[in-house]
Amino acid sequence: GSTIGMLGAGQLGRMTALAAARLGYKTHVFAPDAAGSPAAQVSASATVADWNDLGALERFARSVDVVTLEWENVPVATVEHLRRFTGVHPGPNLLSVAQDRIAEKSFVNGLGIATAPWRPANDAGEVARAAAEIGPRCVLKSTRLGYDGKGQARLDEGSDPAAAWSAIGGGKPGVAGIVEGFVTFACEVSVIVARGADGAMVAYPAVENRHKDGILDVTIAPAQVSAATAAEADRIARRIAEALDLVGVLAVEMFVTPDGAVLVNEMAPRPHNSGHWTMDACATCQFEQLVRAVCGLPLGSVERLADAEMTNLIGDDVDRWPDLLAEPGVRLHLYGKAEARPGRKMGHVNRLLPRR
Ligand code: ATP
Ligand code: MG
Ligand code: MG
């Protein structure tokens, strides 16, 4: 049988490994924190090593048939090294765009696709200037490594730019900033695209995402937006996937403004939390699509068999799991994490609803 190499050891790697197993593939996880991890628990093998351990990377690459990832911040140099020995999808060019908010927004704007207005800002003075140009309401973000709303500070009339700059780690080595105009959105949507090496492409319908404390709380599938808005979100996600020559799965997060305009927020070149509903409601889930795309198999049908609502179990929410199991029509997914720290994604539930 064939083996998929997985960079990163979290729940996305776990659910990919489970989908891979169904198709007869083994998974070998590589991550500094792989020991006992959600992904390693369900994989055939795991390597615990640093991203810059060249020897361990070579042994890993030689032991698998193809490499993919569940965390887009794997250093590009790691991927470049692995590529000497085996195929890695998505590749380094795509990763370098997706790892940096400035590269990402420049790329998207270069395709003629709109984002919130933005400016790079690398000290308190530049934050103040950017806020004066595009504010007063804006969001200062670190350009790299943010997730779940971490590394962000909101700015408004009378905010202290220096406080915001230091709140996101400004001044620390390697920390750069971007100021984005605050979007008063009607809703947030995302589209997940899968694309094979032959250019074949499928996309799930746009879904609506509601956040709580910067963390995804609920995904509603499909999004309750106009057909025109859904079509525009689909067009944008496909255009980006094609322009990046994606092989794998890509999620594009977007804002829908009150007048129906669609602005790209960010993207993730991997399965995405807002695609977890596909596990129970679609003919083929996003994790299986990743396996198919990187292994050169035909992509699966994205047919929606039911509407769905996905709710994340964050921190202590997971304590309710026996009650959730008892609820008819609820599909429970737990990630095998021992410690329910606040803000930590422990699992999710999918509720299936009749198709509208
Ligand atoms: P993720 O966990 O999705 O990777 P992240 O930490 O990379 O999140 P973003 O997606 O950029 O951060 O922001 C998190 C959330 O904060 C967004 O989904 C949105 O609700 C809100 N947000 C971010 N940027 C803006 C903006 N410019 N205007 C309005 N709201 C915003
Ligand atoms: Mg993000
Ligand atoms: Mg986001």
Q: Give 214 Cα–ligand 2 centroid separation in angstroms.
A: 10
* 3-state percent helix, strand, coil for the chain, nearest multiple of 5: 30, 30, 40
148 is in an annotated binding site: yes
User: 187-353, which class in CATH?
Assistant: alpha beta
What is the structure's pLDDT at 38?
A: 98
Distance CA(348)–CA(314), nearest Å, equals 8
Contact by Cβ (8 Å): 44, 314:
no
Whole-prediction pTM: 0.97
What is the structure's pLDDT at 102?
A: 98
What is the structure's pLDDT at 250?
A: 98
Q: Closest residue (by CA) to atom 14 of ligand 1? A: 149
Q: Residue 294: name the closest of 230, 246, 262 by CA.
A: 246
Q: Which CATH number fits domain 3-88: 3.40.50.300, 2.40.37.10, 3.40.50.20, 3.40.640.10?
A: 3.40.50.20
What is the structure's pLDDT at 135?
A: 87
Q: Give 348 Cα–ligand 1 centroid separation in angstroms.
A: 20
Is 266 a pocket residue for ligand 1 (Cβ < 6 Å)?
yes
Q: Which CATH number fits domain 117-181: 3.30.1490.20, 2.60.120.1440, 3.40.50.720, 3.40.190.10?
A: 3.30.1490.20
What is the structure's pLDDT at 1?
A: 73
Is 116 a pocket residue for ligand 1 (Cβ < 6 Å)?
yes
Distance CA(91)–CA(89), nearest Å, equals 5
Q: Which residues of the chain have pLDDT under 50?
A: none
Q: Residue 238: name the closest of 218, 210, 258, 267 by CA.
A: 267
Distance CA(94)–CA(195), nearest Å, equals 13
Distance CA(322)–CA(325), nearest Å, equals 5
Q: Closest residue (by CA) to atom 20 of ligand 1? A: 211
Distance CA(164)–CA(150), nearest Å, equals 13
